[in-house]
Amino acid sequence: MRLSGDVILITGGTGGMGLAMARRFCSSGARVVLCDLDPSSVEKAVKQLVSEGLQVKGYAADTTNLESMKEIVQKVVSEFGALNGLVTAAGIRQTAESVDKIELETWNLIQHINVTGTLVAIKASTEALIASKGSIVTVSSVTALAARMNQSAYCVSKAAVLSLTKQVALELAKHGVRVNALLPGVTATPMIEQAVRTDGPKVLEEKVKGSLEAFRPGIPLGRLAKPEEQASAAEFLLSQDASFITGIALCVDGGVSMLG
Ligand SMILES: NC(=O)c1ccc[n+]([C@@H]2O[C@H](COP(=O)([O-])OP(=O)(O)OC[C@H]3O[C@@H](n4cnc5c(N)ncnc54)[C@H](O)[C@@H]3O)[C@@H](O)[C@H]2O)c1
């Protein structure tokens, strides 16, 4: 029960990782608040998790909207008394496109949601997290550390999330708030399933024929991550087991990052 009594807010909470995190945190004794874009998906996810006996609430909001995010944090604090943890899992992927072809509109949208959205969720939660001496886990990616073919906007956005994480960790350390980045490798979630379906061959230089299994050869441990494996790493970072850890990048990638 590493998160016993904690209240944790997860952006992108109805996504593959968000849902796995909600289940994991609840099973560790936390109460979880999900936030995601689509009201009906939020409602469906909350219904499902509550039917599993978990203590979950949900709000529909765009994580790039500061007023909406502040409102959610206010509701969380007035209902539960505190906010102890924030996980910024909301994000979008990039359709495969080379640097010379990518539309500026696409580039800006990816930076806006992945980077500004992370910043906004953090800004909205900072006061509450200082009050609780809480913790933040951002969701960056191993693609923050190395180039990926035709994925410049996504890779740059995730590198920016990692840099932002260190920046915020430095600024909040004096308040006892820890801030760390989770860097997942390829993880079997709707995001990656869609990527394989729509433009796998372009991203992976013709190696993929519409199957998640095609990622395996590039991963030293020989398989994709399960969302639950990202959730357990996030739980560790949020918990007191990580009480002297701040500003780090935790790769959960089956060894991909050691290859450079
Ligand atoms: N799946 C992977 O292989 C992988 C690898 C590395 C990093 N990541 C990152 O992990 C995070 C979670 O991804 P996932 O794999 O669970 O994908 P997912 O698509 O299943 O979940 C992402 C969620 O973010 C939500 N979202 C998007 N824009 C939003 C916005 N403006 N406001 C609120 N919510 C918004 C989506 O609705 C979705 O539910 C993302 O940031 C992603 O970039 C994923």
Kindly report, residue by residue over 126-163, the tens digit of the pLDDT.
Answer: 999 999 999 999 999 999 999 998 999 999 999 999 99
**What is the CB neighbour count within 10 angstroms for residue 197?**
12
Residue 3 pLDDT > 80: yes
The rounded Å distance from CA 91 to ligand 1 centre is 4
Indicate the average pLDDT of the chain.
94
Domains, the chain, with CATH or none? 7-253 (3.40.50.720)
The rounded Å distance from CA 90 to ligand 1 centre is 5
Nearest atom, ligand 1, residue 19 CA = 16
Q: Residue with the nearest Cα to atom 22 of ligand 1?
A: 15
The rounded Å distance from CA 174 to ligand 1 centre is 30
Question: Ligand 1 site: residues with CB under 6 angstroms?
Answer: 11-12, 14-18, 36-37, 62-64, 89-92, 113, 117, 139, 141, 184, 186-187, 189-192
Nearest atom, ligand 1, residue 62 CA = 32
Backbone region of residue 17 per phi and psi (left: phi > 0; alpha: psi in -120 to 50; beta: other values): alpha
Calculate mean pLDDT across residues 8-21: 98
Q: Residue with the nearest Cα to atom 21 of ligand 1?
A: 15
3-state DSSP call for residue 249?
strand
Sequence-distant (6+) residues with CB within 8 A of 207 are 201, 214, 217
165-207 tens-digit pLDDT = 999 999 999 999 999 999 999 999 988 888 777 765 555 544 4
Question: Would you mind telling me the total number of residues written for the chain in this entry?
Answer: 260
Helix residue spans in 87-213 (DSSP H): 104-111, 117-132, 152-172, 190-203
205-235 tens-digit pLDDT = 444 455 677 777 789 999 999 999 999 999 9
Residues assigned a catalytic role: 154
23-76 tens-digit pLDDT = 999 999 999 999 999 999 999 999 999 999 999 999 999 999 999 999 999 999
3-state DSSP call for residue 35?
strand
Which of 106, 258, 89, 121 is CA-nearest to residue 190?
89
Cα three-residue angle 63-80-138, rounded to 5 degrees:
35
Phi then psi for residue 254, to 5 deg, are: 65, 20
pLDDT at 211: 65
